[in-house]
C-alpha cells in the first residue's frame, strides 16, 4: 500500500499517525476519567492500572501487527525503548512542567509481614513499592540477556505483572475514593461511546504505523530492533505525553499514568514472548539498553526516596539521560 510512496511522504504519514494516536488517547483519557468519577475509583489507582494500560494500547496493537507481519523484534525494541522514554523524557518533562512530582503516600510500603506475620523481625523486611516497580521494569531486559525471549520468559513476566496488580489493588490505601470535581456527573453512555471511538481510532492508526515502519525498514536498511527502540518508542508514547500536558495540574493522574504505562509494557512484552518467542538478539542490541534501564530505574528510586518527590533539577537529569541514550545508540549503530 505504501511501497510506491517516496520516503519523505512516508515520514509525513508516520508523524501524522503519531499525532492521531495522541488524539485518540486523549479521547480515552477523558472517557476513563469520567468512568472513574461515575464508579468512584481512586484517581491514582485508576491512572496507574487502567490508564496505564489504555495509553499502552498503541504498543500492544503495534506488537500484534508486527508479530503478524513477521517483525516481532520491531515490537520488542519499541517496548523496551518505550520504558526508557517514559522514565526519562516523559517523566522528566512532567517534573519540569509541574514544578516537581510528589510521590509521598501514593505507594504503600510492601512488607513480607502480610505473608509471614509471626516472624519477629518481619517489620525490618519492609521494601518500598518503588523498589518492587524497579524490579518489574528491569525484568524484561534481564530476561533477554541470553539473546532470546522465550515462552517461559513470557509466562514469568505476565505472572510478575499480574501479582503486582493484585497486590496493588488489595492494598487498603490504594482504595481511596475519588470525589468528582464537577457538580454534574458525566453521562455513562457518552463516556463509554468516547472510549470505544478512541479504541477504534487507536487500532486503525497503529496498523498504519506498522505498515509505514516496515516499508521504511526495508528501504533504509535500519535494523528493526533499533528502529523500534529509537523511533517508534517516541511516537507510541505520545498518549502519555498528551496525558502529561492535559493533567499537569492533576499530578496524581500524570505520575500514575507514566509509571503505570511503563509497568504495562512488562505485560505486553510477556504476551509477545508467549505468542511469538524471539531468538537471535545480539549483545549489541540489548547490552546498552539493559545498563541504561537499570541505571535510570536506580536513579528514580533514589530521587523519589530522598525527599518523596522528583524535583525540577532531578527531572532535568532524567531528560539528559534520555539525550545521552539516543546519542550513544546513534553513534554506535549508524
Mean pLDDT of the chain: 77
CB 19 within 8 A of CB 238: yes
CATH code: domain of residue 82:
1.20.1420.30
Supply the DSSP symbol for 172: G
* Number of structural domains the chain divides into: 1
Residue span of the structural domain in which 93 resides: 7-333
Residue 1 forms part of a structural domain = no
Per-residue confidence (pLDDT) for residue 318, from 0 to 100: 93
Q: For 257-282, b where at least 16 C-beta lie within 10 A, e where not — what string?
A: bbbbbbbbbbbbbbbbbbebebeebe
Rounded CA separation 217/220 (Å): 5
- Max avg pLDDT among 82-86, 115-119, 238-242: 82-86
| pLDDT tens for each residue of 183-224 | 566 788 998 899 888 878 877 887 788 788 778 877 877 777
Of the chain, the percentage scoring pLDDT greater than 90 comes to 9
Rounded CA separation 76/263 (Å): 14
Supply the DSSP symbol for 177: P
CB 328 within 8 A of CB 291: no
Indicate if the pLDDT at residue 12 is higher than 70.
yes
pTM, rounded to two decimals: 0.75
CB 274 within 8 A of CB 156: no
Beta pairing partners, 310: 101
> Which of the pair, 124 or 260, is modelled with greater confidence?
260
Residue 2 forms part of a structural domain = no
Rounded CA separation 223/296 (Å): 25
Per-residue confidence (pLDDT) for residue 265, from 0 to 100: 85
Per-residue confidence (pLDDT) for residue 304, from 0 to 100: 78
Rounded CA separation 186/125 (Å): 44
Residue 25 forms part of a structural domain = yes
Amino acid at each position: 500500500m505504501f511501497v510506491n510512496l517516496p520516503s519523505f511522504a512516508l515520514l509525513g504519514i508516520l508523524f501524522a499517525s503519531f499525532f492521531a494516536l495522541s488524539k485518540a488517547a486523549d479521547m480515552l483519557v477523558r472517557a476513563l476519567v469520567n468512568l472513574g468519577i461515575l464508579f468512584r475509583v481512586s484517581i491514582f489507582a485508576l491512572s496507574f492500572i487502567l490508564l496505564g494500560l489504555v495509553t499502552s494500547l498503541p504498543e500492544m496493537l503495534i506488537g500484534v501487527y508486527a508479530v503478524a507481519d513477521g517483525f516481532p523484534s520491531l515490537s520488542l525494541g519499541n517496548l523496551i525503548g518505550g520504558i526508557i522514554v517514559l522514565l526519562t523524557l516523559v517523566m522528566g518533562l512532567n517534573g519540569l512542567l509541574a514544578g516537581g512530582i510528589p510521590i509521598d503516600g501514593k505507594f504503600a510500603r510492601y512488607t513480607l509481614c502480610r505473608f509471614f506475620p509471626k516472624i519477629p523481625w518481619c517489620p525490618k523486611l519492609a521494601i518500598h513499592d518503588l523498589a518492587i516497580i524497579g524490579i518489574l521494569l528491569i525484568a524484561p531486559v534481564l530476561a533477554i540477556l541470553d539473546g532470546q525471549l522465550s515462552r517461559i520468559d513470557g509466562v514469568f513476566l505476565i505472572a510478575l505483572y499480574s501479582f503486582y496488580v493484585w497486590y496493588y489493588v488489595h492494598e487498603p490505601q490504594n482504595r481511596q475514593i475519588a470525589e468528582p470535581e464537577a457538580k454534574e456527573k458525566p453521562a455513562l453512555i457518552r463516556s463509554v461511546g468516547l472510549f470505544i471511538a478512541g479504541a477504534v481510532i487507536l487500532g486503525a492508526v497503529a496498523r498504519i504505523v506498522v505498515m509505514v515502519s516496515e516499508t521504511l525498514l526495508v528501504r533504509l536498511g535500519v535494523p528493526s530492533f533499533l528502529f523500534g527502540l529509537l523511533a517508534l518508542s517516541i511516537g507510541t508514547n505520545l498518549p502519555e505525553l498528551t496525558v502529561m500536558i492535559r493533567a499537569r495540574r492533576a499530578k496524581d493522574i500524570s505520575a500514575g499514568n507514566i509509571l503505570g504505562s511503563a509497568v504495562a509494557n512488562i505485560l505486553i512484552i510477556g504476551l509477545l514472548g508467549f505468542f511469538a518467542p524471539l531468538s537471535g538478539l545480539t549483545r549489541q542490541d540489548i547490552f546498552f539498553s539493559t545498563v541504561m534501564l537499570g541505571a535510570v530505574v536506580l536513579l528514580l528510586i533514589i530521587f523519589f526516596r530522598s525527599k518523596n518527590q522528583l524535583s525540577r533539577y532531578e527531572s532535568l537529569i532524567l531528560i539528559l539521560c534520555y539525550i545521552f541514550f539516543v546519542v550513544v545508540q546513534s553513534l554506535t549503530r549508524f
